[in-house]
Amino acid sequence: MTIHREGYATLLIVLIVLTILYGPIEYFYPENLLLQRIAMGFCLIVFLFFLQFFRNPNRNVFINENYILAPADGKVVVIEETQETEYFADKRIQISIFMSPFDVHLNRNPIKGVVKMVKYHPGKYLVAWHPKSSIENERTTIVIQHENGKEILIRQIAGAIARRICWYVQENQIVQQGSELGFIKFGSRVDIFLPLDAKINVELNQKTIAGETIIAMWN
């Protein structure tokens, strides 16, 4: 278990703010040990709350050219056939994974392949389960082409709390299965659009682990 690099600056700011808040209590109430302990406990809880956002656990990635791995930790909230209009302009199977504030927020590449498209969209911050969040919220769209010629689309979507989406891939880059795709600070949602003939391997409300859970297989 390590701390992801995206958390360094945020955790430093949180630590400075908590130190500033705690300092006056110790200065003005030097003999009130109970108050100091309560304040210290509060600061510790707050810091640990932010710390867990940026944890980066070791993962045993199931590398297999026939697997499509989960891009995010979280819960499967959507499995449906839908019209994808931004890139494919045809019907795809959409799988959506909701990332709660307590999930790991690092996203991983579901397959090995060539990045065909990376596009960032500024937008709103509707709650992640809002029907229009996938088209109105801050988001990125990433398309990866497998060596079999088929393509998948991954969409990172910010939510009501998230205010920054990070991505680590660029067009024409060859990415490895399970490697870092990006990071959504403080959670939200990741959608993945698959060909209609993909064999789905997850169910609604199932918990997923990025890089480990096999969400689908190529036909």
Token reading at 59: 């993962």
Active site residue 188: yes
Tell me how far CA of residue 36 lies from CA of 13, 22, 44, 111, in angstroms. Answer: 21, 8, 12, 51
Single-letter amino acid, residue 53 = F
Single-letter amino acid, residue 130 = H
Contact (Cβ atoms closer than 8 angstroms) between residue 69 and residue 113: no
- Cα(191)–Cα(71) distance, rounded to whole angstroms? 9
The one catalytic residue among 96, 133, 134, 188:
188
Give the catalytic positions in this structure. Answer: 188
